[in-house]
Amino acid sequence: MAPMTQQPLQAEATAPARAQVRLGAQVLTCLVLCLLAALILHFTRARPWQLFSRPLDPLWQLLIGQGLALVAAVASWLMYRRSADSEASMRTVAAYARLDLRGHNPLWIALCAAVGEELLFRAALQPLLGVWILSVLFLVSHVPVYRVKRLDKPALVQALGVFVASVALGFIYQYVGLLAAMLVHLWIDIVGLLVVRSVIQSRD
């Protein structure tokens, strides 16, 4: 029998998979983030179009980025497998179960997040704020997604995961390039969303 403190979490995580957040909302959010990034870059960068070709050439960014993305995706999956029954994992599944994960939607949702968030946080804001302050801001922006109601151990585990991911993406952007950061972000999100969909389907 599960501890009483986990029953509400399990009930929330096993709620019907009918989405509350549609794909259109994800696309709109991506467009807003891209617009904000474009405005910031317009006033802070003399040649914003060079973002995709520095510090490494685009081809090298794609090659290295794909390698790092595969490592990150496998690591993300393995970490979930080791902590699938934890409260933090159950809360994460419950939070992302609100998304419309039917069909190819995990790919499109992940693509929207990778493009929009990397353009705004990494390309536009990181040169102004630095990796560490930017990662705190990135974490704060994800608090509503996880619907944190109290600051307990599972919430801290979730926060640490988001913060570490942001720091890693920040250094990938700084030393490899924006395309590489987008690829890594894309694959982490795809794996995460497919795991969420699998969990939801297995509990139906």
Q: Are 95 and 195 a contacting pair, CB within 8 Å?
A: no
Cα 123 to Cα 172: distance, rounded to the nearest angstrom: 11
Q: Which of these, 179, 198, 183, lies nearest to 53 by C-alpha position?
A: 179
Q: Which residue has the higher pLDDT, 18 or 166?
A: 166
Q: Residue 54: phi, psi to the nearest 5?
A: -140, 150
What digits encode the pLDDT tens for the residues 14-60?
Answer: 444 444 788 899 999 999 999 999 999 999 988 888 888 889 999 99
Residue type, 151: L
What digits encode the pLDDT tens for the residues 92-134?
Answer: 888 888 899 999 999 999 999 999 999 999 999 999 999 999 9
